[in-house]
Amino acid sequence: MSLQASELFNEFQQLSPSEFFRKNKQMLGFSGKIRSLTMVFHELITNSFDAAEEAGILPEIKIDLQKLGKDHYLLKHTDNGPGIPEKFIMQVYCSMFAGSKFRNIQSRGQQGLGCSGCVLLSQMTTGKPAKVSSACIENGEMKGVKMTFKMDVKKNKGLLMEKEEFIPTSTGVSIELQFKEVSYSKAEQGAFEYIRRTMVGNPHAQIIFRDPEGEKFIFKRAANIVPILPKEVLPHPKGVTADDLIFMAKHTDKRRFRSLLASSLSRMSEKKLREIEEITHVDLNKRPKSMKWEEAEKIVHAIGKMNFMAPPTSGLIPIGNEQIEEGMKEILKPEFIQATTRKPVSYRGGVAFIIEVGLAYGGNSGRIVNEQRKSEIMRFANRVPLTFDQGSCAITEALKTVDWKRYGLKDLENIPFTMFVNIISTQVPYLSTGKQSVAPEPEIVYEVRQASMIVARRLQKYIRVKKAAQEKEMRSKIFEEYVPVILREAAILAETDVPEYKDMLSKVTHRALAELFGEDPDKIEEISPLDDKDARNEDIKKNNTDDVDDLEDRENIDLDEELENSENTDSLDQYFDE
């Protein structure tokens, strides 16, 4: 017997955003024990950074992770930000798709899911409520409140259980959450590594972390400058669709569609508006709400044929070469470091972005695997580390196409080498809501590749000069070791007294040193290598530095030509596929 349509819809229901993500928590990145805890750190840290920077405060975060049982932890996260007003606390932590970041602006978070996702995971795995303490300034008065609450998943809002007011001494927010079915690890994708990489991309911050074993780690800030706040920018005409135009038309207070386009899109001048009218024959003076879908399609099609200025980049604030190098120095202590920032460009015709790359070699660069240092890639988007899904990421794809052997890195996987790549954009094209992988847009892949080859060339020069200096030093040591023997044996053959070989060595090496430094032998001051090795080493070091400068001046490789002629390498395939 077949069912009637009304019976088929007896079970019809509507899910709230919280209900949807309770059933699909993996879409928030909460999949696997190690990854779930790392994503909690990610969400809480990025929100604290954003809040502090918007208030002009150098971020300082304290994290205390206590182990309560097997795969059971208590997390206490405290920051020194501006705090959250009482009426917004449960909205921030209990309402999905609620926040202040739904703008076309460069921001770490863009979806309003982070903090509420952490509370949801805690509630799903332990049934325990969240405890939040917030101190902020309201109407010129310092106020503090402690709240205990749960999330009403059905209604996508908070349920207050306890509230207590207190008098604070400073602003900030502290949250306590319990988690089960998660795991702390120092592995590459664990919570500790996430903090380490965060400090490389955010040298202006400081994080104090106590791990489940009670060990305290202090990640000190390497810079004392609060980053410049990015500005909200209007969408570029090349990036809009017919649906975007209809949506804007229905939610505007403008009286004419012409005014709507001019005020809602960047680079939309009166001249461009007249050009659109000539191509489409659409009256742009009509009321926005009367705009039809067919007319919107005509406008989008016309925009595709027109030439516009590049998207404005005033809203993009890169980390900067100096700050990247300071951050890498503080964490990696490398022997060589180099950073570069590319000029702003756009993908999909209308979304501007900037690529920054830093390279560190030697010291504590790379990652330790089985007590051996191996190369590592640090992927970032708007200063946020991307620790998962690297195989499908545009950054990974770009780095795999670089022929690293031509830059002197023959066994790239097994050397102390760290590559830092950061993409800056108002709309980072993530592949999923987990925000761990960047879509392989051709323009992004190209820019990452170009920037990587620039820093790789500079490392190649450093390695070349370092090798030459080592060879000179080796030859010098051999000379110093065998000259006394030669003098002694020669004296025996000549049946004469053995001369004072220090004085003799000074005279013999006088001309050799002059030739080494490019000086006139008659003018150079006599230096005994046995008496003054340190002085000679300083001169060699200076000479090597000059060699680097000379090489930089002489070598001017066209990167576009290098891009076309270079061969792909499989040296990174094994690392990227892990």
Q: What DSSP string runs through 342-388? A: PPPEEETTTEEEEEEEEEEESTT-SEEETTEEE-EEEEEETTEEE-S
What does the block give as tokens for 383? 């200063």
What does the block give as tokens for 198? 């965060």
From 305, 332, 348, the end of a domain falls on 305
Same domain for 203 and 253, yes or no, is no
Short-list 233, 235, 234, CA closest to 350: 235
Residue 364's SS3 state is coil
* Phi, psi at 169, each rounded to 5°: -105, -15
pLDDT along the chain (578 residues), means of 10: 61 69 75 90 92 92 95 96 93 75 61 78 93 93 94 88 93 96 89 93 94 94 86 81 89 89 88 91 89 91 86 82 93 93 84 92 87 89 89 91 88 88 90 83 94 94 85 75 76 77 60 55 45 45 47 45 46 46
* Phi, psi at 118, each rounded to 5°: -65, -45
Helices of type H across 75-113: 86-94
Tell me how far apart the alpha carbons of residues 422 and 452 are, in angstroms, rounded to a whole number.
11
Residue 567 belongs to some domain of the structure: no
The region that residue 99 occupies, defined by phi over 0 for left and psi between -120 and 50 for alpha, beta otherwise, is left
What does the block give as tokens for 380? 């970032």
Q: How far is CA 322 from CA 109, 204, 225, 344, in A?
A: 25, 12, 12, 18
Same domain for 376 and 502, yes or no, is no
Instruction: Give the pLDDT score at 236.
Output: 82
Q: Cα 403 to the chain's mean position, in Å?
A: 23
Same domain for 377 and 343, yes or no, is yes
Tell me how far apart the alpha carbons of residues 228 and 233 are, in angstroms, rounded to a whole number.
15
From 166, 185, 219, the end of a domain falls on 219
Instruction: Give the pLDDT score at 14.
Output: 66
Same domain for 290 and 327, yes or no, is no
Q: How far is CA 468 from CA 195, 463, 465, in A?
A: 38, 9, 5
Short-list 387, 389, 399, CA closest to 444: 399
DSSP 275: H
Tell me how far apart the alpha carbons of residues 457 and 561 are, in angstroms, rounded to a whole number.
14
CATH at residue 415 = 3.30.230.10
Same domain for 355 and 422, yes or no, is yes
From 262, 278, 305, the end of a domain falls on 305
Burial string for 299-321 (b: 16+ CB within 10 Å, else e) reads: bbebbeeeebeebebebbbbbbe
Same domain for 397 and 427, yes or no, is yes
Residue 198 belongs to some domain of the structure: yes
| Residues 397/402/403/407 CA torsion (nearest 10 deg) | -140
Same domain for 443 and 471, yes or no, is no
Q: List CB contacts of 87: < 8 A, sequence separation 6 or more.
A: none
Same domain for 251 and 113, yes or no, is no
**With contact defined as beta carbons under 8 Å apart, do 332 and 338 qualify?**
no
Q: How far is CA 85 from CA 46, 117, 155, 202, in A?
A: 19, 20, 22, 26
CATH at residue 283 = 1.10.8.50
User: Could you write out the three-class secondary structure of 11-31?
Assistant: CCCCCCHHHHHHHCHHHHCCC
Tell me how far apart the alpha carbons of residues 25 and 32 are, in angstroms, rounded to a whole number.
11
Short-list 355, 433, 367, CA closest to 394: 355
Give the count of domains, the chain.
4
Same domain for 254 and 392, yes or no, is no
Tell me how far apart the alpha carbons of residues 351 and 237 are, in angstroms, rounded to a whole number.
10
Residue 41 belongs to some domain of the structure: yes
The parent domain of residue 256 ranges over 237-305
Same domain for 62 and 142, yes or no, is yes
Short-list 330, 105, 78, CA closest to 224: 330
Same domain for 122 and 206, yes or no, is yes
Question: What are 353's strand-pairing partners?
Answer: 345, 425
Same domain for 475 and 406, yes or no, is no
Instruction: Give the pLDDT score at 20.
Output: 73
